[in-house]
Structure 1
Amino acid sequence: MPPKLKVLENNARIEQRFKSEISSSLAAVLKTNPRMTPKEAMWSIEQKMLANNPYQPLENGKSPIGDLPDEILTHIFSLGVRMQEEEDMDGYDDDDAWEDVSTDEEEDEEEDEEEDEEMETADDAEVTLPGKAHDSDSDMDSLLDSEYDGSDEDDELRIPFQVLVSHVCRRWREVVLEAHVLWTTLQFSNRPRLEKAQMYISRRGDLPLDIYIDCTFPPDVDEEDHPDHSLYLENKARKGSSEEPTSPPSGLDNEDDDSRFLSQREVSRILDLIEPEAAHWRTLDFRASTYSYVHLLLSRLHKLPPAPALESFQVYHFEDCEDYEFFSGDDKTPFLPFQGEAPNLKEAIFWGVHIDWEDSLRAFLRDLRELELSYHAKDVRPTYPVFRQIIQNSPHLQTLTLSLSGPMLADGVAFDDEEAWGPEPLTIPSVKDLALQFHTPSYASVLVQHLDLPGVQNLVLNFDQEDYSEFVRVLLKPVKGRTESLLQHVEQLKISGLPCNVANAEGLLGQLKALKSFNLKVVGQEEHVIFQKLMDPAAGRPPNATSESGSGRFGELPKLFCPLLESITTTEVPGEEIKRLVAARRTLGVPLKKILMSETDHISKKDEKWIRAHVDELDFFEPSDSEDEELELEVLDDDDDDSGDENGDDGGEEPFPSPFAQHLGRGRRSGGPDLD
């Protein structure tokens, strides 16, 4: 999506200080020069303040920035473009604000000379926004007003950075138009804006393109709500409205941007535009709410020639699904993009999207650095032999994410059948980052027994709804052929949900001797016990639990867990508990250096001041939807779990909520394992 420029809000504290300084200066000038009128004194203060103002023309008519070579200006402009793209990937459509004054570069230069001869250098030029004369304050105000999105919280300009700076002066415009690196990102959402994309393509030279297409629907909107859809009128009537469309079906032209989305017809037009450039694609990021859009994309990519420049291929399908046993789409044809050839592909992410996994082994999924398989129905997941080959074809794989997806065994083969996995675990020595999320306990337990990941340093565990004590117990054991478990070299750990008993929680923490950074979301009592054990290893233990008594599951307690821990990030932990943690770790001789808290968690001024005085850094973050949404989700029914399925899963996956709902949040846990 197009980048945005932030408009600073009024800061009352700074404004008050500014007024105070002006009042003091005015009093001093009048005292020193009693013959001056207040108006004259204020004028002298203003001249002094503006002497070094970078937004005012310099007396000699020349600014130091005018001496910078074109290469440096290009680098500065590219940093501005990159910052916008990184910050505003989830922003709004830029509508008409992106438009350039003209598209012919020679005419641009002539118009610049005629209209803005005084803009020979950047030093004394005002910013000229597209389509308006730079010397008209009223026109400028009118245009600025039209560029705001109307948000009460954050008014922001819609003009892409490269377009904005191209209207500062003639030299900057020449630099921008010749800087092909500024025109390599195409973002489509809400409105197709094909003319904008065509202009970017014409200006990017021979550089590769980064393409982002967002077809997701706004909340409470269906595909049939788009005027392009054949059922639009029928759907509108069904919803109780007899109002006819006021314009031809062109994509919700009379609706606010918040209610707009791309139709399949518009996506086809986008693909018509960008497909001739497929040999120059570097990134393709495609997001859709229904599989029909994904099917449209994959069926088109299936016919395209190889993509030699493609480095990142990401396709996300967000759709409600109550059953991950079988694929729910109308057509599950497994397509193979780019005829199976993308020799430079480094990143492959599939969310609820499957391809022809077996044919992809030839040349598509090879030499990857990152692989993510997420939210796949069991009948469209890669088989274990194919998954194994994909991994072996990528000896430099660094990041592996498996979220409610992963390898499956053949039909009729129990998932705990050791022979089906082969005599040795799948060794992946190159993987440094591993994420396991939303699997059933039985699947997760078997999976970690057959993946040998000796180099993992960053680990994400995200589970809920069931008892994962057995999974943790298996995780604590070395895989076949190893003497250490996966946990013993982990330096960064994120737990967004891990319901397990206290004994296994102690076992997990006891092996995290190399842990330096811990990100913990307290979903329920089990995670709260894990948090407490960072300051009191005995927290959560039953009164009669000792290393030699009871069931024998409890081991001997260390003096402290995670002795190298320096940084902790928390969600659902109040400031008073953070304070106790900081104090306890200091007392134990292993002080924390950095605290990062969710800004939604309460902390008093007093506690915040105390924490800041006892750590190097205290900061707050805005939690994502996956961390601050609370959804009431169906709880797994253990009574239905009596037969297992043909792959050895225990039936626990069937009631899982949709991928989108799971990513937004998993609701309050209404059950869990016994803490002891």
Structure 2
Amino acid sequence: MPPKLRVLAHNARLEKRMQNDISTSLASVLKTNPKMELKEAMWSVTQEMLVNNPFQPPKDGKCPFNDLPDEILGYIFSVGVKEEAEEGLQGYDSEDDADWEDADDEDDEEQGSGDDEDDEEMGASVPTANAGPAPQDSDSGGSSDSDMYDDEVRIPFQVLVSHVCHRWRAVALDSHVLWTTLNFEKRPNLEKAETYISRAQGLPLTICIDCTFPEDVDEEDHPDHPLYTENHDDEDMDVDHDAEEEEVRFLSNAELTQILDLIEPEVSHWGSLEFRASTYTYVTTLLSRLAKLPSAPLLEAFQVYHFEDCEDYEFFSGDDKTSFLPFHGDAPLLKDAVFWGIHIDWEGAAKSFLTGLRDLELSFHAKDVRPSYDAFYKIISSSPDLQTLTLSLSGPVLSDGVEFDAEREEGGWGSTPLTISSLREFAIQFHDPKYASALVQHLDMPNVTGLLLNFDEQDYTTFVRSLLKPVKGRTESLLQHIDHLKISGLPCDVASAHAFLDQLVILKSFNLKVTIVAAQALAAGAATSATASGSSSGPLSSPTLFCPKLETLTTNAVDGYRLKQLVETRKKLGAPIKRIFMSYNDRVSEKEEKWLRDNLEELEFFEPSDSEEEVEVYGEEDDDDDSEDWETDSDAEGGDGGDGREDGEDGDEPPLISPLARHLGRRRRRAMDLD
């Protein structure tokens, strides 16, 4: 039988288009055959629409896949696995996955000899990737299609294809690359992971371990925790024990130990390790174990994240401050390193572990566990091909009360800037204005073309002014080389904002969470911002045009009316916007949308990530007050959805600067893409 289709989200616009197509086809059939009954005409239209339906079996009973060589079939399987991973559909192991391969025999060496012979033909029953009972609506009104999908058992694509027929199983088991990803979350299926390792046949393994907690849950709510019994009285446990068990869906420290016991013998085959945790207890368990391993010769990506709310970053708040050195510092192929709220032995890592990097992220480190400037300098200097650097509330230690360009012996960074010639993308976020200003004045990044700025709560005018100045020894500022920029927050006075925009002379792509002031400035410059806002009329002489090369604009919390003004004004000035990516939460009427589509090469809508949903909205410009912040009020624009947009409409989100993906609520890190 054909796979069962499930609608993930209602799309009224596509449904309307389909209805129009059906109506048009039906009218054509009735016009050609006026004597045909309506029911018969509808049947004819339906059959015509289903001619190329991939979910219908071929009429001649022969499947084209049977003619493909095994090599091509295996490649197709690998593409399916890759796309499933990129779309985040494969997910992690769950308790529902206990019988993850019911038909599997213990001896995989025989390439599926345990399958029924009846499955050899392509017409055999195919298990679906979303197998399971159809979800029922609840009494409260039912759940959305996406909620239904999340609750269903998901069969990994490689397992799915290995159960279609004897030949497909043989090809799948012989395609070792299909079995190289190990995901551990909630209640891990160690038997499944062991089988995957066996089938990978020594290929580099991609390992993901998620020890984060669900919302409103802490570590003591896990049955394996020593305090679990004390925190749950016997009466409650007896009455609703099963329900309590069902709610606990996160790894315990004991389970993490079991996972490490399983994968540590394969450390010579680790290609990537991604680890996430909500408390530092898990981190200590991981790092203490990794510090005992001799080496990771194939490891290319090491990403460790500690997610824990913290208001004070002066001092490390965990119980164990020990700094470990993973793999004794021996990971010769390491290219991608992420340390989010997790510190290691920076001095030891600078000697060998963190060398030859391509991407480096240091995020959310208390000041007393940040790398020294000497360690930071060695890490950067020993990575001549470093492409991406992300510093989010982290970076080299700078002693309090010491100027950044003071000598190192005095606690500063020295008077000579640190040059990173290979760097192409730089993200700087959440620092206080003084430290952020020090970073952009000391780091010499002459070839950076992609920049992310994300600041809030304080006045960052001094930081913006630091960006406007060339680094010591240079004649041009960093901004004058930027062609891709994202601003998620940058409070500063209007004069500095205009000076900032004025230096973006080669900017091609701008992703911003601003409305009125910046949108006006982008439309026609400081001299014509009043005209752009509609508060005055009549021609202005010699307008200042900001960002003259700008072609692509991604917005959040900008309504259709403002964007229409922007597009119209820049077209008149001879610097037209070609593409706009707009949050589908923002207000845009059908008329405005039609106008934008008629005047742009491309207009797409995207669903903002969780962290972008609560956006700051930028206030009206006051010509008499140059001290007004670029970012001010949070209540004005934005909206709960476009006036003319259909519910559920979605579009592909435009490429973001690669470090951003880690900060925007993505389950997995996206590939670098600035085009």
Aligned residue number for residue 69 of structure 1: 69
Aligned residue number for residue 588 of structure 1: 573
Aligned residue number for residue 306 of structure 2: 317
1:597 alignment partner, SS class: strand
Aligned residue number for residue 650 of structure 1: none
Partners of 1:596 and 1:469 in 2: how far apart?
28
Deviation digits for residues 88-107 of structure 1 (CA, Å, limit 9, x no counterpart) = 17956554347112143367
Aligned residue number for residue 533 of structure 1: 521
For residue 104 of structure 2, the aligned residue among 102, 105, 108 is 102
Using the TM superposition, give the Cα deviation of residue 417 of structure 1 relative to its aligned residue in structure 2, in angstroms. Answer: 2.9
Aligned residue number for residue 202 of structure 1: 198
- Runs of at least 5 residues in structure 1 that lack an aligned partner in the other structure: 131-140, 544-555, 632-661, 666-676
Amino acid at match of 1:311: E
Amino acid at match of 1:285: E
Distance 1:243 1:664, change over 3 A: farther
1:384 aligns with 2:373: yes
Partners of 2:380 and 2:9 in 1: how far apart?
49
1:372 alignment partner, SS class: strand
1:127 aligns with 2:126: yes
1:426 aligns with 2:415: no
Amino acid at match of 1:594: R
CA contact 2:111–2:170 (8 Å) conserved in 1? no
Aligned residue number for residue 246 of structure 2: 255
Partners of 2:273 and 2:72 in 1: how far apart?
29
1:466 aligns with 2:451: no
Instruction: State the identity %.
Output: 58
1:286 alignment partner, SS class: strand
Deviation digits for residues 422-467 of structure 1 (CA, Å, limit 9, x no counterpart) = 2310000000000010000011111211110001100001111111
Using the TM superposition, give the Cα deviation of residue 409 of structure 1 relative to its aligned residue in structure 2, in angstroms. Answer: 3.5
Distance 1:24 1:111, change over 3 A: farther
Using the TM superposition, give the Cα deviation of residue 55 of structure 1 relative to its aligned residue in structure 2, in angstroms. Answer: 3.8
1:160-559 aligned at under 5 Å gives the runs 160-237=156-233, 242-244=236-238, 254-256=245-247, 259-409=248-398, 413=402, 415=404, 417=406, 420-522=412-514, 528-538=516-526, 559=544
1:619 alignment partner, SS class: strand
Partners of 1:90 and 1:219 in 2: how far apart?
22
Question: TM (normalized to structure 1)?
Answer: 0.80
Using the TM superposition, give the Cα deviation of residue 262 of structure 1 relative to its aligned residue in structure 2, in angstroms. Answer: 0.8
Partners of 1:43 and 1:532 in 2: how far apart?
55
2:96 alignment partner, SS class: coil
2:292 alignment partner, SS class: coil
RMSD: 3.5
Aligned residue number for residue 626 of structure 1: 611
- Aligned residue pairs total 592
Using the TM superposition, give the Cα deviation of residue 559 of structure 1 relative to its aligned residue in structure 2, in angstroms. Answer: 2.5
Amino acid at match of 1:516: K
Question: TM (normalized to structure 2)?
Answer: 0.80
Distance 1:62 1:321, change over 3 A: same
CA contact 2:212–2:276 (8 Å) conserved in 1? yes
Partners of 1:606 and 1:128 in 2: how far apart?
46
Partners of 2:338 and 2:64 in 1: how far apart?
46
For residue 590 of structure 2, the aligned residue among 602, 605, 621 is 605
1:620 alignment partner, SS class: strand
1:455 alignment partner, SS class: coil
1:534 alignment partner, SS class: helix
Amino acid at match of 1:84: E
Partners of 1:202 and 1:508 in 2: how far apart?
56
Partners of 1:470 and 1:349 in 2: how far apart?
29
1:349 alignment partner, SS class: strand
CA contact 2:560–2:588 (8 Å) conserved in 1? yes
Deviation digits for residues 250-309 of structure 1 (CA, Å, limit 9, x no counterpart) = xx88315xx511111111111111111111111100011111111111011111110010
Partners of 2:168 and 2:24 in 1: how far apart?
37
Deviation digits for residues 637-657 of structure 1 (CA, Å, limit 9, x no counterpart) = xxxxxxxxxxxxxxxxxxxxx
Deviation digits for residues 74-120 of structure 1 (CA, Å, limit 9, x no counterpart) = 1111111111111117956554347112143367744434342xx33
Distance 1:77 1:337, change over 3 A: same
Amino acid at match of 2:518: I
- Runs of at least 5 residues in structure 2 that lack an aligned partner in the other structure: 532-540, 617-661, 666-675
Deviation digits for residues 198-244 of structure 1 (CA, Å, limit 9, x no counterpart) = 1111111121000111111111011111111111122234xx97334
Partners of 2:190 and 2:177 in 1: how far apart?
19
Using the TM superposition, give the Cα deviation of residue 507 of structure 1 relative to its aligned residue in structure 2, in angstroms. Answer: 1.6
